[in-house]
Amino acid sequence: MDAICRDCGARQDTGRGGPPGRCAACASPRILAHNELHALAIAHIDCDAFYASVEKRNRPQLADKPVIVGGQRRGVVAACCYIARLKGVHSAMPMFQAKKACPDAVIIPPDMELYRKVGRQIRDLMLGVTPLVEPLSVDEAFLDLSGTERLHGGSPAETLVGLIERIENEIGVTASVGLSHNKFLAKLASDMDKPRGFQIIGRSETLGTLRPMPVEAIWGVGKALRAKLLRDGIKTIGQLAGCGEDDLIKRYGVIGGRLAHLSRGHDGRPVNPHGNAKSVSAETTFSRNIKSLSALSGRLWPLCETVARRLKARNLAAKTVTLKLKTSGFRILTRSHSLASPTQLAEVLFRSARPLLQKEADGRAFRLIGIGASGFADAADADLPDLLDSRLETYAKIENAIDSVRRKFGAPAIKKGRSLLGE
């Protein structure tokens, strides 16, 4: 059995039947041993409680305290540290429930710009070991390290040990690794051992590992699909694997074919360094419920500006605009509108979403509003001159001028009047 030390990276002598209890070089007990240790190359890296970890890094006095990142009075938990999790706190929990579960928690409002900055630093370290990095979010990604042995002088597993050590020492946060022979299993593995974990699922053990797992362990099986599977008597991945692919497609449609493949550990998707983002969005939770259409519109506008900025940064344009609202009773409403042509402009996003908002702002109180853009197209096709609507060219000129001022003097330097309605 092959083995390496997860702290110093030294290969371990396993000639006497099994991995040593401690590293021969540094005496660390964190020994990683597996029969396929040096034969696997697809990894999933996920930072541990990322937002909370960044906050603790910046405030060492909070190291041993429960930390929750989220809205102070309203909203939901964006992230929490493992100490808070032991008290029953979890992501997406309403903040009032989180406070009841962990009344001594330190609550910190999220600083997304800081988290993105740290995420970019981590991404740069990942790109230093392989160009095949597929981001899933600001703090997690797939990596394909196939063929990097000669470049780094070691197997992918050894390279990953060094990468995680650099993330901890240079960035100041911890991360967990899943290593396997495809993306589905790598992500599954990284969730099995947290925090500071390194889990491996080899080819020979794939079916044995999957068989007893609940069906919801499969990526993409949410509450609705899980309920359907349970109604049909399918509780485990092993039971799912025992069903024929044609039968699963007949029962559950196209996703039935996906379930058939994943339940057997098959996943042919390559690691795509360009990512697979399907939408760009922004939302905000109010400190107090809002009923007024004008006040809601004022809150909507800066979100449209944020989404437009993100579209431009990614060189994307969108053909579908989606409005999101959450009522005072926590009911989520989404309403969408398809554009005649793709856009990158905040003005177009706002003018498409506002009629949707007008229909819903019927006196009900809302606690959250959001805007999303999807149906991506190339930026070169965005906001082309329209002979039937000369306003589009005017919108583009005004927005380009605003962008230019902000690049030079910062975002607060200039605002449109409608944004003041939400203040």
Name the residues annotated as catalytic: 140
Distance separating alpha carbons of residues 222 and 252, to the nearest angstrom: 13
Non-local (6+) Cβ contacts of 70 within 8 A are 76, 77, 78, 79, 95, 98, 107, 109, 110
Distance separating alpha carbons of residues 392 and 194, to the nearest angstrom: 50
Distance separating alpha carbons of residues 47 and 177, to the nearest angstrom: 9
Secondary structure class of 369 (helix, strand, coil)? strand
Tokens found for residue 380 = 């070169």
Find, among 273, 299, 277, the residue nearest to 130 by Cα.
Answer: 273
Instruction: Give alpha helix (H) positions in 194-276.
Output: 206-210, 223-231, 237-241, 245-252, 254-263
Distance separating alpha carbons of residues 330 and 306, to the nearest angstrom: 24
CA of 318: how far to CAs of 29, 108, 355, 404, in Å? 51, 33, 18, 22
Distance separating alpha carbons of residues 44 and 387, to the nearest angstrom: 49
State the maximum Cα–Cα separation within the chain, in Å, rounded to a whole number: 81
Question: Taking a C-beta distance cutoff of 8 angstroms, is the pair 77, 106 a contact?
Answer: no
Question: Taking a C-beta distance cutoff of 8 angstroms, is the pair 176, 45 a contact?
Answer: yes
Tokens found for residue 155 = 């197997």
Distance separating alpha carbons of residues 201 and 194, to the nearest angstrom: 15
